[in-house]
Amino acid sequence: KMSEVSEVMTKADMKPKSMYRAKMWSDDVENLYRFQQAGYRDEVEYKQVKQVDEVECWPETGFVKKLQRRDNTFYYYNRQRECEDKDVRKVKVYVY
């Protein structure tokens, strides 16, 4: 039986067409790293699940500042880069 959340999700669901792993760090990879740490594919999935229009970002860097996990606990992120070089290849980049 599907949960109510996944039923709601499938209605407005955008499914990625493909996925590849990041090879080099960039601002986008940094933000994807943050979403994936919090248990989401990317910003698209986060906005669908949490029903929010905007994600809180640091004005100086544009990096994601805070994310709410599915269990409603919050992740807070630093202004600076958090995704180290050794973690870059773990980041999944989704193509829609």
Smallest CA-to-CA distance from 34 within 71, 84, 96, 86 is with: 84
Averaged pLDDT for residues 25-37: 97
Q: At residue 60, does pLDDT exceed 70?
A: yes
Q: Where are the domains of the chain?
A: 23-89
Higher pLDDT: 67 or 96? It is 67
Q: Which of 12-16, 51-55, 69-73 has the lowest mean pLDDT?
A: 12-16
Confidence (pTM): 0.84
Smallest CA-to-CA distance from 34 within 5, 70, 63 is with: 63
pLDDT band at 14 (very low <50, low <70, confident <90, very high): confident
Q: At residue 29, does pLDDT exceed 80?
A: yes
Q: What's the pLDDT score for residue 75?
A: 96
Q: What's the pLDDT score for residue 32?
A: 98
User: What percentage of the chain reaches a pLDDT higher than 90?
Assistant: 82
3-state helix, strand, coil in the chain (%, to 5): 30, 15, 50
Q: What's the pLDDT score for residue 12?
A: 55
